[in-house]
A and B are shown apart, each in its own frame.
Chain A
């Protein structure tokens, strides 16, 4: 019965190809499925698509790493110290409603075009989900665990490394997965809007060259890449946290 899901896309493709044979069909704006397919294959074969994918992923991973580097310690800090949480709330509530895309012109002014500017915007966007998940994780660490660690006279850094971090790891990973989704979307968005590199720029270039077949081919590719990235991380999550039986049962 799963095959049923393939029926609508197949029907749309078939109808589209059929319509393109009619006289008067605006092929210049809508292209045809066959042309899109050949555009996808040719840009895969000449390496341009893979290079652009690499550029987008580089900015995504850099930005996400920055977000994790700052977001996890900050989230842990405000999650485990209520006083720090109350102090930080003013700054957080001013910055959080600002959409990451509104930071694009500022990053552009500060860093110019290139992957560093893109990474900064991605980091700003991915910081929030990562930080919030880290804060929740720190709050929900079992009180008894903290007491045990204290009773065993572990030092604060040891308590963090040996108790808090392992206990929160599974939840943190959920934050990373959310962050990755946001990061990839924002990276493509920055490229579409201003930055001349990566998949987004490839699409705007194809649009400027009036090549709907390429625009559509890259669109399909972006969807595939995003879907695969998410699938890989979801698989890693299952593999990595097999030991975490208590949480695992809840999912």
Chain B
């Protein structure tokens, strides 16, 4: 018990020192106030946007787009991954193309998608979906391909149908790789969502922080960055919990 308290104190020691020094230096006027607000100001900005409902509005806006894009990408990635991973011919045919397209930065697709779809919400969702597709897709392909050959032989010996092989053998075996891909995809989805929102100047968090920066509202800008960081953290914790739940059989 004592040890745990000590641990926590140790963890918050450095942040506490930094915040205190920051506040002190700021009140002395040593910091450029144009872009470095005091920690107290950031806190006030956070409480203000939380109370006025601005925060909830922007955060739900961002979260909905992000999750929609990510879910579409994940379903597509898993389906396509099983197809390409379980079929040697499909793998030979498609893998080089997939490897090349994967190396494209997803943000570079934004100008193209704006041309095709305009500055719309749908465009943002498509950017997120296209960007977060690759980790899931490649993870699933790798996972399905890495199924133990002996398991394949067992399946053949039991004369299992193709569908049963996929649901009973390939998918469970590919699950760890697939989940790692899903997790990475979610991180990418947040990044792309913020970028796309900046470009379209939407009501979501990305648009709001760029707006704050353009209007020299530094406290609001820092508050927004913190909220985006917290969103990332919460998403990561959630998917981490899902991952552990799905892989609970693995630890025993």
Number of residues on chain A facing chain B (CB within 8 A): 55
A29 to B115, CA, bound (A): 6
Q: What residues of chain B lie closer than 8 Å to A90, measured between beta carbons? A: 11-15
B10 at the interface (CB under 8 A from A): yes
Known A5-B96, A110-B35: A189·B105 in contact at CB below 8 Å? yes
A113 to chain B, nearest CB (A): 12
B103 at the interface (CB under 8 A from A): yes
User: A227 contacts B195, CB within 8 Å?
Assistant: no
- B11 is contacted by which of A86, A98, A193, A216 (Cβ under 8 Å)? A86
Can you list, as one digit per residue, whether each of A102-140 has a CB less than 8 Å from chain B (1) or not (0)? 111110111000000000000000000000000000000
Known A99-B232, A106-B213: A189·B112 in contact at CB below 8 Å? no
A88 to B11, CA, bound (A): 7
User: B103 contacts A223, CB within 8 Å?
Assistant: yes
Closest to B209 in A: A105
Give the dominant DSSP class at B's interface: helix
A245 at the interface (CB under 8 A from B): no
A69 at the interface (CB under 8 A from B): no
A101 to B100, CA, bound (A): 24
B247 at the interface (CB under 8 A from A): no
User: B35 contacts A101, CB within 8 Å?
Assistant: no
A83 to B93, CA, bound (A): 52
Can you list, as one digit per residue, whether each of A189-224 has a CB less than 8 Å from chain B (1) or not (0)? 100111000011001101100101001101100110
- A206 is contacted by which of B35, B111, B218 (Cβ under 8 Å)? B111
Known A5-B96, A105-B221: A207·B111 in contact at CB below 8 Å? yes
Q: What residues of chain B lie closer than 8 Å to A94, measured between beta carbons? A: 15, 229
Closest to A108 in B: B213
B35 to chain A, nearest CB (A): 4
User: B110 contacts A97, CB within 8 Å?
Assistant: no
Can you list, as one digit per residue, whether each of B193-231 has a CB less than 8 Å from chain A (1) or not (0)? 011001100000010011011101010011011101110
Q: What residues of chain B lie closer than 8 Å to A193, measured between beta carbons? A: 107, 195, 198-199
Chain A residues 4 to 19 lying within 8 A of chain B, measured CB to CB, are: 4-9
A176 to chain B, nearest CB (A): 18
Can you list, as one digit per residue, whether each of B145-167 has a CB less than 8 Å from chain A (1) or not (0)? 00000000000000000000000
29 A-B contact pairs sorted by A residue (CB < 8 Å) = A5-B93, A5-B94, A5-B96, A30-B116, A86-B10, A86-B11, A89-B11, A91-B14, A95-B229, A100-B191, A101-B194, A101-B198, A102-B224, A102-B228, A106-B222, A108-B213, A109-B34, A189-B107, A192-B107, A192-B111, A193-B198, A193-B199, A200-B108, A207-B115, A212-B115, A215-B111, A215-B115, A219-B104, A226-B104
